[in-house]
Amino acid sequence: MVTPTRKKDRIDSLAGSSADAGVSLAASAWRTLRRSPVFLTGATIISLFVLVSLLSPWLAPHDPSDPMLIDQVVKARNQIPPVQDGHPLGGDLQGRDFFSRLLIGSQQTLIVGVLATLIGLAGGLTLGTLAGAFGGWVDSVVMRLVDVMLSLPSLLLAFSISAMFARPNQYTVIVAVAVVQIPVFARLLRGSMLAQRHSDHVLAATALGVKPGAIVFRHMLPNSLGPVIVQSTLVLATAIIDAAALSFLGLGNPDDRIPEWGQMLGDVQNVFDTHPQLAFWPAGCIIVVALGFTLMGETLREALDPKSRR
Amino acid sequence: MPLLEVRDLTVVFERKGEKPFTAVDHVSFDVEPGQTVGLVGESGCGKSVTSLAIMGLLPRRGARVSGSVQYEGVNLLSLSDREMRDKRGRDLGMVFQDPLSSLNPVIPIGVQVTEVLERHRDMPRKKAMLEAAELLDKVGIPDPTRRLSEYPHQLSGGMRQRALIAIALACRPRLLIADEPTTALDVTIQAQILALLKELVHDLGTALVMITHDLGVVAGLCDEVNVLYAGRVVEKAHRHELFAAPRHPYTHGLLSSIPRLDAPRGEKLNPIRGSVSDNIPWSEGCAFAPRCPNKLDVCVRVTPEQEDIGGGRLLRCHNPVKPPVAEEVSA
């Protein structure tokens, strides 16, 4: 019995502007998103992920750094504690509860992903605004800098940056991953700022005597942010994957009392063939979370695209 | 003293490695306070560039503007960026062609109206909002208080143009430049917007520079008309005289190319042959010569000068169209 409501929706949408009164870009995007199954899937994954990582200290059945099952570990034969009562995923190479480590690991992943994205966003917004607002030589200098950073493969750049730190810790990972994202944001914002610079409404605002600062921050920047917002949800996924890659290669936090999914993957490299489940869980988590962010980002892009709006 | 006095306004676009392009060539005209002056011509004749040059909106690099634009005795071309910024929106308003793209899509109409009021009249936000509602009401937008919180995409084309006119007139500028304000609108809305403009400039005593390719607009609105061809004014006359007795073959061609309701069915349209050539050939002969039915040998050799032919009319032609009947002109 969906027909009546469907019909009502259609009439509402036909009624157009009157039903639309005072609806902002964000509100109308939200209306589209609310009905998109893809967005809802992504949003569910992400909310679960955030919820789990926030509540993980209480959800985790055991201390993730306590080698409670160490007596079951027999190094010589790659014996790893199997699934048993109270340990739904068994133990790891050091006899610690694998399930607890997985739960607590989501915390690190969330922190790294969000912080790296925010720092990258802040840097990218600054550079992109500078380049887009001033144009001319400022634009050239900033963009050459960005080109240099983009000319290196992003993961390689992140490795180099984290290798530069004498003693890597969780913050060096964040910085390394964030710096890699800066040029992406900067270039994206600069592009859309430049498009705005030559747009009719900016010309119209100029013709009204609006001051340059207001032109940049009220007329150009807000109109250029759409693609950047979308990109940041996609970057969240990349940041999580990059951070995991760094940890996997041993450039992450060496302190393995704080578990992290990439690091967990790296730890079990030698036993992949005999105990694939130890790789399966952290890898699966990384993939699912990254997928969640990507699904959200892609649907957000569609919803915010003014061309697809009705 | 005229409110706006444009003298020998010349705009040359320069690009490295390319021949400079003269878009506007020694254009001169006056606008008296409260007067409506039309700039008419086909695409590419330099109408819009003229308006942008007056407003100081052409890019610094690439566009060389010379001549003078006296507004209340001040040469706008000699003002600094900051001084010019204070003039724009307060003394000089402008309405653009496309009302949708000329409004900022992400901020509500209200903010866009109050922005000017806050900028030039130092109004506090609340007072500006009230004033904005009043302005929207004045340009005929129903339910203005609600419209203030709406976004441009929620308004119809005609409403948007009304809103833009409200914004342009918010600080009661003494001069309004309208660059083809009705081109993007459908015919019924065009008539409404023109009526609105006419009423507002009359009520506020604003002088209006109307830029258009539509002679119908000119007929309904303008006191004086400047016909531009290839960057130069080829004919200037009062509206009635221009329509009654066009002297320049180009103006004549424009007028006779308008389809008439009383013409016999089956009569073909009467276009001006050819199209504007890219490189303005004013340096050698008349730019209109290749398309001109009245062309003489002298037209391709000697550039015609602007002559005063009496009655406030200016003409740039070696072989103008004869006035149809002498009495009609003087009438």
**Residue position matching structure tokens 């030039």:** B120
Interface test with B, best of A193, A208, A224 (most B CBs within 10 A): A208
- Give the global pTM: 0.79
User: Within a domain: residue A164?
Assistant: yes
Number of domains, chain A: 1
Q: Is residue A160 part of a domain?
A: yes
Residue A248 confidence (pLDDT): 83
Residue A213 covered by a domain? yes
Q: Above 50 in pLDDT, residue B110?
A: yes
Q: Are A21 and B150 an interchain contact pair (Cβ–Cβ within 8 Å)? A: yes
Is pLDDT at B76 greater than 80 in this prediction? yes
Which residues of chain A does B89 touch, with a Cβ-Cβ cutoff of 8 Å? 207-210
Query: Tell me, what CATH number does A182's domain have?
Result: 1.10.3720.10
Largest CA distance in chain B: 68
Is residue B323 within 8 A of residue B329, CB to CB? The reply is yes
Size of interface A-B (CB pairs under 8 A): 89
C-alpha distance from residue A81 to each of A60, A73, A107, A276 (Å): 18, 6, 24, 13
Contact between residue B177 and residue B93 where contact means Cβ atoms under 8 Å apart: yes
Domain assignment of residue A12, yes or no: no
Given pLDDT bands bounded at 50, 70 and 90, which one contains residue B92?
A: very high
**Each residue's pLDDT tens digit, B284-303:** 788 888 888 888 888 888 88
Q: Return averaged pLDDT per consecutive 10 residues of chain A, 310 residues in all.
A: 47 40 64 87 92 88 80 70 79 83 88 92 94 89 92 87 81 90 92 89 92 91 86 87 85 78 83 83 91 89 64
Question: Given this structure, which CATH class describes domain B4-222?
Answer: alpha beta
Span B305-315, average pLDDT: 87
A215 belongs to a structural domain:
yes
Instruction: Reply yes or no on whether the pLDDT at B306 is more than 80.
Output: yes
pLDDT at A25: 65
**B14-47 per-position pLDDT tens digit:** 888 888 888 898 899 999 998 999 999 888 788 8
Which whole number is the average pLDDT over B148-173? 89
What pLDDT, on a 0 to 100 scale, did the predictor assign at position A223?
A: 87
pLDDT of residue B49: 92
- The pLDDT of residue B331: 40
What is the pLDDT of chain B when averaged over all its residues?
87
**Predicted confidence (pLDDT) per residue in A155-190, tens digit:** 888 888 888 887 877 788 899 999 999 999 999 999
Q: Where are chain B's structural domains? A: 4-222, 229-261+270-315
A242 domain-assigned: yes
Looking at residue A127, its pLDDT comes to: 94
8 Å CB contact between A235 and A117: yes
Residue A243 lies in a domain: yes
Of A200, A210, A306, the CB nearest to B115: A210
Decide if B106 and A17 are in contact by the 8 Å CB cutoff: no
| Residue A1 domain-assigned (yes or no) | no
As for the ipTM of the complex, it is 0.85
Best B52, B104, B115, B145 residue to mutate vs chain A (most A CBs within 10 Å): B104
Q: Which residue of A has its CA nearest to B177?
A: A207
Residues of chain B with C-beta less than 8 angstroms from the C-beta of A206: 57, 88
The pLDDT score that the predictor gives to residue B280 is 52
Domain boundaries, position A245: 102-304
